[in-house]
Amino acid sequence: MFPAGTPAWAKTDISPRAGLWAPDVLFFNGKYHLYYACSTFGSQRSAIGLATNPTLDPSNAAYLWADQGKVIESSPGMPFNAIDPTVVLDADGKPWIAFGSWNQGIFLRRLDENSGKLPATDKAADHLAARPGRDALEAPSLFLRNGWYYLVVSYDFCCRGVNSTYKLVIGRSRQITGPYVDRDGKPMLEGHASLLLRSYGFTRGPGQSTFVRQGNCTWMVHHYYDARDNGIPRVQVREIYWDADGWPLAGEPLAEQRHDAEPVTADLNGQWDLLSDYGKQASRCLFDRDGSVRKDGQMIGRWTRTEDQLQIRWSPDQSNAGGATADCFISTDGESFVGRRSSDGAIISGCRVDEMPVTP
């Protein structure tokens, strides 16, 4: 994108060692606007830059990423760190930018439609999310669906390979400026948020997400560290399902399966590994043909399937989920499902067992 390397302004104004990362792109006012972070690791002397292009087709004669310089910057002592931008159009088609890493959390500014930068007449920043006393949050992703603005942020620590504790959490608001709350209605500004995805199996430290709409389908793209390969950083793509209350559930990462394949209609009978909120210890269960769910030979509940929907009903004597149900979505390939348990809102996920799982 920058054949000559890091823009001169970044080396002069931020640091001679300034690096560029965390890009996000949005189309408005007839061109593509690409916002990127400019800083050195762990520094609050940071900026968000902007480059524009009329087309994404490299064969088009008009194709050219033109750097437009700084959009917003930060220095030590300011309430925010100007990195990790996410840009979104509101319900009226107006552009906004959210950003932030540690310090006091995540902030929002309105963008000028013509310049793509901050408007000269509006200097107010809206505070969206914080973790008082902990600070470990960053990398917002903001999107609009069915009248709700969803704010996804990364909690805890990245950049430690398989020992990274990054996880994705979420809140939502009817207004883009907030207040954002979790599933229990508690404010994100007070450190509350609902779990979306955390480490399990070979997926360690999932974070830095973005969301893409394709027809009626929503996809989440996120970074993780691969425990199968010495913690090498990689990217996963997951289909997002929506529960009855309009909260997202992350499906298993796409591999070789095709989303446009015909849905698998065979019975789900067989061995499954079930996780609750992506806990470290999976429960190996048998989904029997008679509709029972068994663990260690004992019946713990029942299951029923209707097309791409699965319902699990736990037996009343189950101490951790007695009498609860989970309404789940089955993946297109029939190899996994995800849903939410009625008793406590925990995310229930399952993968068909055809090999021994990776030990956490």
pLDDT band per the 50, 70, 90 thresholds, residue 333: confident
Q: Is residue 49 part of a domain?
A: yes
CATH number for the domain harbouring residue 43:
2.115.10.20
262 is a domain residue: no
Query: 49 and 83 share a domain?
Result: yes
Domain that holds residue 317: 270-352
* Confidence band for 358, pLDDT divided at 50, 70 and 90: very low
- Asked if residue 360 has pLDDT above 50, the reply is no
Last residue of a domain, one of 253, 284, 312: 253
Q: How confident is the model at residue 349 (pLDDT cuts 50, 70, 90)?
A: very high
Q: Quick one: 137 and 20 in the same domain?
A: yes
| 90 and 204 together in one domain | yes
pLDDT digits (tens, 9 = 90+) for 231-277: 999 999 999 999 999 999 999 999 744 455 555 556 799 999 999 99
Residue 2 lies in a domain: no
Residues 141 and 284 in one domain: no
Report the pLDDT value the prediction gives residue 123, as an integer from 0 to 100: 78
- Mark whether 294 and 327 lie in a shared domain: yes
Tell me, yes or no, whether 237 and 94 share the same domain: yes
At 78-134, the pLDDT tens digits run 999 999 999 999 999 999 999 999 999 999 999 999 999 999 887 789 999 999 988
Number of domains in the chain: 2
Do 175 and 306 belong together in one domain? no
Q: Is 263 inside any structural domain?
A: no
DSSP 54-120: S-S-TTSTT---EEEEEEEEE-TTSS----S-EEEE-TTS-EEEEE-BSTT-EEEEE--TTTSS--T
Domain-located, residue 260: no
Q: How far apart are CA 119 and CA 285, in angstroms?
A: 57
Residues 208 and 288 both lie in one domain: no
- In terms of domains, do 34 and 106 share one? yes
Give the integer Cα–Cα distance in Å for 337 and 327.
Answer: 10
* Mean pLDDT (whole number) for 200-222: 95
Quick one: average pLDDT of 124-149? 95
Q: What is the pLDDT of residue 1?
A: 77
Please indicate, yes or no, if residue 147 is contained in any of the structural domains. yes
Can you list the alpha helix ranges (DSSP code H) found in the chain? 8-13
Given 190, 223, 253, which residue is the final one in a domain?
253
Average pLDDT, the chain: 92
| Res 131: pLDDT | 96
CATH code, domain carrying 339: 2.40.128.10
Q: What is the mean pLDDT of residues 18-23?
A: 93
Q: Are residues 145 and 99 in the same domain?
A: yes
Which of 226, 253, 280 delimits the end of a domain? Answer: 253
Q: Please tell me whether residues 208 and 160 are part of one structural domain.
A: yes
Most confident of 4-18, 107-121, 264-278, 314-328: 107-121
The least confident of 17-21, 124-128, 311-315, 316-320 is 316-320
CA distances from 237 to 211, 222, 228, 278 (A): 10, 7, 17, 17
pLDDT band, residue 356 (cuts 50/70/90): very low
Tens digits of residue pLDDT in 40-88: 988 999 999 999 999 999 999 999 999 999 999 999 999 999 999 999 9
Q: What is the pLDDT of residue 263?
A: 55
User: 334-339 long-range CB contacts below 8 Å, 24 or more apart?
Assistant: 334/263, 334/264, 334/266, 334/268, 335/252, 335/257, 336/251, 336/252, 337/268, 337/310, 338/241, 338/249, 338/250, 338/251, 338/252, 339/243, 339/249, 339/310, 339/312
Q: Flag whether 1 is in a domain.
A: no
